[in-house]
Structure formats: structure tokens, C-alpha cells
């Protein structure tokens, strides 16, 4: 009932009731909020700190994650570098792993990005939907 609006006479107005509450506005929470919001759900996200994370970390978004961002229309907002392969090192040996991209459009690749900026852009994307 805390998520329902009350009228002046104290009755509950369910027309604008929040349908989904998401705890955490990280990558998953923001993506879920955006996806559900696009589907017409009324979503609220609870996050303890909306500041951009202040840590030095780079992330590698694998091809499947990139394809999901294409579905969410979030690709151009992530400020990333394209990655076509990566190398695994173990016990003095290395193996190069390339993405098989011949079945995809020309701009599909893995992505390397700054985690904090990416998270902020995902949060803004989720917040851009009508309330």
C-alpha cells in the first residue's frame, strides 16, 4: 500500500500504482527498469548512492551482452572501444580467442568500457522513460 497513491478522501488510487520495485541501480537493475518501463510497467528503482562509482576499473562486455544492449537501444551511450578478440594467459602460455562475427552486422563486437560512466548512462536511460 505504500506504493499506491491516495486521494484526498483517503481512498487508494490504483491507476498510477507502482507495479515493480527494483532494489539497486547497477547495470542489471537499470537495464531491467528500462526494459520493464518500455513495456509500460510503472517501475521505481531504489539505490543508496546514485553517484558515478569512483573506482578505476575497465570492463569487457562480451558479444552476448553487446547484442542485448542493441535490443535495449543503449549501444551508443556506453562510450566504449570495440573488441574483436582477447587472449587468455596461463602458465606461460597464451591462447587468442576471436569472436565469430561473420553472421552479424558490421559494427557488432565485444566492448571495453569505463564501468562508472557506463552505469551512469544506463541509469539515465532508465530514468528517461515517462513516469
Domain containing 45 — which CATH number? 3.50.50.60
Cβ distance 13 to 4 under 8 Å? yes
| DSSP 3-state of 27 | helix
> What whole-number distance in Å separates Cα of residue 82 and Cα of residue 113?
9
For strands 110-114 and 80-83, give the pairing: antiparallel
Average pLDDT over residues 82-107: 81
Per-residue pLDDT at 115? 78
Pick the residue with more confidence: 85 or 23? 23
Per-residue pLDDT at 3? 53
- In this predicted model, what pLDDT tens digit does every residue of 4-42 receive, in sequence order? 555 667 666 666 677 889 999 888 898 899 889 888 888
How deeply is 50 buried, as exposed, middle or buried, from its count of CB atoms within 10 A (0-12, 13-18, 19+)?
exposed
Domain range for residue 71?
5-127
Pick the residue with more confidence: 28 or 56? 28
Per-residue pLDDT at 56? 60
Q: Which residues contact 58 (CB under 8 A, 6 or more apart)?
A: 112, 113, 114, 115
Q: Which three cell numbers stand for residue 25?
A: 541501480
> What whole-number distance in Å separates Cα of residue 61 and Cα of residue 100?
15
Q: How many domains does the chain have?
A: 1
Per-residue pLDDT at 1? 43
Cβ distance 58 to 113 under 8 Å? yes
pTM score: 0.65
Amino acid at each position: 500500500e505504500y506504493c499506491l497513491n491516495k486521494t484526498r478522501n483517503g481512498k487508494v488510487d490504483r491507476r498510477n500504482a507502482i507495479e515493480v520495485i527494483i532494489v539497486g541501480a547497477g547495470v542489471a537493475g537499470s537495464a531491467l527498469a528500462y526494459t520493464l518501463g518500455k513495456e509500460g510497467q510503472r517501475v521505481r528503482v531504489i539505490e543508496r548512492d546514485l553517484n558515478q562509482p569512483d573506482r578505476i576499473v575497465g570492463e569487457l562486455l562480451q558479444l552476448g551482452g553487446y547484442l542485448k544492449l542493441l535490443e535495449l537501444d543503449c549501444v551508443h551511450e556506453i562510450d566504449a572501444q570495440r573488441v574483436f578478440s582477447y587472449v587468455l594467459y596461463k602458465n606461460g602460455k597464451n591462447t587468442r580467442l576471436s569472436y565469430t562475427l561473420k553472421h552479424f552486422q558490421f559494427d557488432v563486437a565485444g566492448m571495453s568500457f569505463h564501468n562508472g560512466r557506463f552505469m551512469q548512462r544506463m541509469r539515465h536511460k532508465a530514468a528517461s522513460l515517462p513516469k
